[in-house]
A and B are shown apart, each in its own frame.
Chain A
Amino acid sequence: MSATERSGGSTALAAGLGLLALLAAAGSLVIGRDGGGPTFGFGGPELAETIVREIRLPRTLLALLVGGTLGLCGAALQGLLRNPLAEPGLLGASSGAAFGAVVMFYFGFAGASSLLLPLGAVAGSLLALAVLYALAGRRGDFLTIVLAGIAINALAAALTSLALNFAPSPYAALEILFWMLGSLADRSLAHVYLALPLMVPGWLLVVAAARGLDALTLGEDTARSLGFDPKRTQALVIGGTALAVGAAVAVTGVVGFIGLVVPHLLRGAVGQHPSRLLLPSFLGGALLATLADIAIRLLPPGPELKLGVVTALLGAPFFLHLVMRSSARDGSAP
Chain B
Amino acid sequence: MQRPITPTSRARAPLAAAFAAVSLVATASAASLPKVASINLCADQHVLALADPEQILTVSWLAADAEESLLAHEAQRHTLNYGTAEEILKLAPDVVLAGTYTSPFTRTMLRRLGFNVVELEPEASIADIERNVRIVADVVGQPARGERLVVELREGVRALEARRPARRVGAVIVRPGGFTVGADSLADELLRLAGLANVAAERGLDRWGSLSMEALLRSAPDLIVLTGYRASQPSLANAVLEHPALESLGATHRTVTVHTALWACGLPRSIEAASVLQQAVLE
Contacts and interface: CB of A to CB of B under 8 A. Distances in A.
B23 interface: no
A168 B103 CA distance: 16
B198 to A, nearest CB: 18
Nearest to A43: B90
Interface string B121-141: 010000000000000000000
Interface residues of A, number: 33
Nearest to B111: A114
Given A34-B86, A55-B109, A170-B208, A186 B81 contact: no
A51 B207 CA distance: 40
Interface string A106-129: 000011001001000000000000
B207 A168 contact: yes
A111 B100 contact: yes
A47 interface: yes
A185 interface: yes
Contact of A186 (B84, B99, B100): B84
A110 B104 contact: yes
A185 to B, nearest CB: 6
Nearest to A175: B101
B113 A175 contact: no
Interface string B49-83: 00000000000010000000000000000011111
Given A34-B90, A43-B90, A169-B122, A54 B109 contact: yes
A186 B85 contact: yes
Interface string B93-119: 000000111011111110011000000
A33 interface: yes
A35 interface: yes
Interface residues of B, number: 27
Contact of A304 (B80, B82, B109, B122): B82
B152 interface: no
A114 to B, nearest CB: 4
Given A169-B207, A171-B122, A303-B82, A185 B103 contact: yes
A169 B181 CA distance: 11
A185 B105 contact: yes
Contact of A302 (B82, B99, B101, B208): B82
Contacts of A303: 61, 82-83
Interface string A164-187: 000011111011000000010111
Given A175-B103, A186-B108, 6 more contacts: A50-B113, A56-B86, A114-B107, A171-B101, A186-B85, A186-B109
